[in-house]
Amino acid sequence: MEEKSGHLRYRPEMHVTSDRGVLMAPAAALIDGDCWHLFHQYRPAANAAPRWGHQASWDTPYEWETCDDVLAAEGEETLVRAGSVLSVDNGLNLYFTSVTETGTAVHLARIEDPEATTSDISEDPLALDQNVRRVGEVVGNELGAAAGLYDFRSPCVIPGWASETDRAAGLSGWLMLTVTGSQEAPRLAVLRSEDASTWVLEGALRFDGDTGLKEETAIVSPRMIRLRDEVDGEIYDILLVTIEHHGVDISGYLIGKLTGADFAVTTPFQRIDFGHDFTRPRNTNLSDAGDPRWQRGVIFGLVNGVGRFDDPTEHLSLEKESWANAISLPRVISLQGGMLFQTPARGLVEAITRTEAARMWTGLCEIPEGSTLSVDIIDAAGEVAARVSHRGSVLELDRSMNKHHQGDAVASAPLAEGDSDSLTIVADGSVVEVFADGGAVAMASRVYIDAAAPTFRVSAEGGARVENSFERGPETISPVTPDWARPRLGRELL
């Protein structure tokens, strides 16, 4: 395999991948001071049992270091699957799905000293972190028996409200969302706890209002973020979900307010990403959970459009470089008028200049209806590996001309009238992410680009024009972001 200064052709540098094997999903994420902890579910080989890996990055979430794994199946377990991480009493609680021959349950593991997990890393890639202590089952079939709920899995744990009717009263206790029931007809459930260890079932999640989904829709992988809407000033619950539809994942969100187990919907289901490959979005908890502003949140997603139905042996990256799948760049999300906006987390421009091959293009444009601004991503042979087209009211990402993606449908997303016509494209290894109109639309797609470092080619038709633009790559002398691009490119988390 051709390398450039040790950089493999398809492996991204700023996106998290497993060193070897198949990354299955982001499991949990937490920001502890200046340290980002990202836990992910992965298989060390295509046919190996899943484990929880752990990577950390300091200050900005773009230069990840691999730490020892934190969880692997033990005893009667056959698998460990995704869950959540929470900061409790100066340590970390890891909530995860324990799978045995008889079903699934939510288990708890504990890390008393989070800093110790990022030091003294073993040279054995399958070593388990000795700082992780298994506590045991916390939510199982016995807890759900009276309500007819069973096989609890995929837990999301976040701080609870001191008063469900007065959110100005602050936080108290903890809330858990889980999936229950069969794989064919899953249900969501809500639980609460005062100590983050002993849980009480509120009941199956009930929707009040139009969800925008059919009643029989299978919803999995629930996650929740609270945000204050910058228009009306109210704090809302953002329910992130994944829909498994005919073997393909569709991820999105609903906005409303959760009281007990009742979710009052104010915004029905909306796609969260319109690219070919974004699924299983995960929230990011904070070690300082009491931040009162509720202005920002952070999500990660799996760059794979099929999710658990995927066959990793078909991935070119596994064949050529012994790894498959990546986790998206962290996206800072805000709520404006009942709509989520997503932009890359701070530090992206500087991080790109420290890579060996990643590249970014950002432009502020004028694109009247009927015109088109296109940005081609060019490979080493001078061929188009993918094309991003902004048509004023539609954004498209086309990879069908690429020999590795021939015949693929064009990913498209509607754009609202009156939005500022801005565009940011990040190409990092085999991952392309696009943010349009100040973050109103996001797209992530796997694109195998046969180039040590891709280039961009911009063209305009029908009256479209670029008013301001800049490009960043490893050869860039200055990593400074122009003032005009700052509001559209990234927003501070805190």
Q: What is the pLDDT of residue 294?
A: 79
Q: What is the pLDDT of residue 492?
A: 67
Task: Quick: pLDDT tens for 113-154.
Answer: 999 999 989 999 999 999 999 999 999 999 999 999 999 999
Q: Among residues of the chain, what percentage have pLDDT more than 70?
A: 95
Q: What is the pLDDT of residue 291?
A: 57
Task: Quick: pLDDT tens for 49-80.
Answer: 999 999 999 999 999 999 999 999 999 999 99
C-alpha–C-alpha distance, residues 418 and 375, integer Å: 22
Q: What is the pLDDT of residue 15?
A: 97
Q: What is the mean pLDDT of residues 255-259?
A: 97
Q: Is the pLDDT of residue 225 over 90?
A: yes
Task: Quick: pLDDT tens for 412-453.
Answer: 999 987 666 899 999 999 999 999 999 999 999 999 999 888
Q: What is the pLDDT of residue 292?
A: 57
Q: What is the pLDDT of residue 451?
A: 86
Q: What is the pLDDT of residue 2?
A: 42
Task: Quick: pLDDT tens for 188-199.
Answer: 999 999 999 999
Q: What is the mean pLDDT of residues 367-395?
A: 95
pTM score of the predicted model: 0.94
Q: Is the pLDDT of residue 1 over 50?
A: no
Buried b (16+ CB within 10 A) or exposed e, 49-74: ebbbbbbbbeebbbbbeebbbbbbee
Q: What is the mean pLDDT of residues 152-160?
A: 96
Q: Contact 67/129 with Cβ under 8 angstroms?
A: yes
Say which range, 172-176, 305-309, 422-426, 468-472, has the weakest mean pLDDT.
305-309
Say how many C-beta atoms besides its own lie within 10 A of residue 111's C-beta: 20
Q: Which residue has the higher pLDDT, 183 or 372?
A: 372
Say which range, 25-39, 87-101, 158-172, has the weakest mean pLDDT.
158-172
The two counts, helices (H) then strands (E), for the chain are 4, 35
SS3 content of the chain, % helix, strand, coil (to 5): 10, 50, 40
Q: Is the pLDDT of residue 361 over 60?
A: yes
The gap from C-alpha 55 to its chain's centroid, in whole angstroms, comes to 15
Q: What is the pLDDT of residue 267?
A: 97
Q: Write down the H helix ranges in 114-197.
A: 141-144
Q: What is the pLDDT of residue 493?
A: 61
Task: Quick: pLDDT tens for 276-304.
Answer: 999 999 999 988 765 556 788 999 999 99
Q: What is the pLDDT of residue 415?
A: 92
pLDDT, averaged across the chain? 92
Element (H, E) at 97: strand 91-100
Could you tell me the sign of the dihedral formed by the alpha carbons of 334, 302, 306, 70, in that order? negative
Q: What is the pLDDT of residue 4?
A: 44
Q: Given strand 394-398, what is the order of strands in its sheet?
A: 411-414, 394-398, 384-390, 372-378, 455-461
Say which range, 117-131, 239-253, 283-297, 367-381, has the weakest mean pLDDT.
283-297
Q: What is the pLDDT of residue 191?
A: 98
Instruction: Tokens 């324990």: give the residue.
Output: 98
Cα distances (Å, whole numbers) of residue 349 to 7, 325, 353, 383, 426: 19, 23, 7, 26, 10
230, amino acid identity: E
